[in-house]
Amino acid sequence: MLKLFTFLTIFILSSPFSHAGSCSINLEGNTMMQYSSNTIEIDSSCSEFVIKFKNISTVAKEYGGHNVIVSKDSDFGALTSLVDPTVHSAENGYLPNSNKLIAKSPIIGPNETYDVKIDVSKLNISEKYVYWCSFTGHWGVMKGNLVMK
Ligand SMILES: [Cu+2]
């Protein structure tokens, strides 16, 4: 009986209903070039959605920092081709300004955090969105899907 109760408690706490109305999520980037989540669901009733990003890697920012870029999946190829650390600063995610960038953070180093704020009114429920790290060589692995619910 206790086991059943424990199971039900865990089930209820982890069900999507208990998170209804949450307009933020915690996301980490680690030493293995991995995000802690490969999918982020955004409640379309949110006006703003915040990805609370933390770099938990031990690799120095200039050798392998992390960030979060939000874009349409269809713009991913064009945007990654614009990444150039010799021209653009880490503060700008090694990217030029572009209206294809829906949200972005600077490249951050170990134990640094950044709140990536997404204007949900810019998102379309029928479009495919992705979030990815614009440190050169990272986005092949550090890429996830952003899903509107
Ligand atoms: Cu990275």
pLDDT digits (tens, 9 = 90+) for 20-49: 459 999 999 999 999 999 999 999 999 999
Q: What is the mean pLDDT of residues 68-97?
A: 98
- Which CATH number is 87's domain given? 2.60.40.420
Q: Is residue 41 part of a domain?
A: yes
In a domain, 12, yes or no: no
Ligand 1 center to 85 CA (angstroms): 13
Domain total in the chain: 1
Task: Give mean pLDDT, residues 35-64.
Answer: 97
- Name the 3-class secondary structure at 119: strand
Coil, helix or strand at residue 73? helix
Question: Residue 22 Cα, ligand 1 centroid: separation in angstroms?
Answer: 26
Quick check: is 17 in a domain?
A: no
What tokens appear for 102 in the block? 């829906």
pLDDT digits (tens, 9 = 90+) for 86-142: 999 999 999 999 999 999 999 999 999 999 999 999 999 999 999 999 999 999 999
Distance 4 CA to ligand 1 centre (A): 41
Quote the pTM value.
0.85
pLDDT(64) > 60: yes
Asked, for residue 6, whether it belongs to a domain, the answer is: no
Within 8 A by CB and 6+ apart from 103, the residues are 51, 68, 69, 70, 116, 117, 118, 119
> 66 CA distance to ligand 1 centroid (A)?
3
DSSP string, 31-68: TTS-BS-SEEEE-TT-SEEEEEEEE---S-HHHH-B--
Q: Give the domain range for residue 120.
A: 23-148
Cα of 107 from ligand 1 centre, angstroms: 8
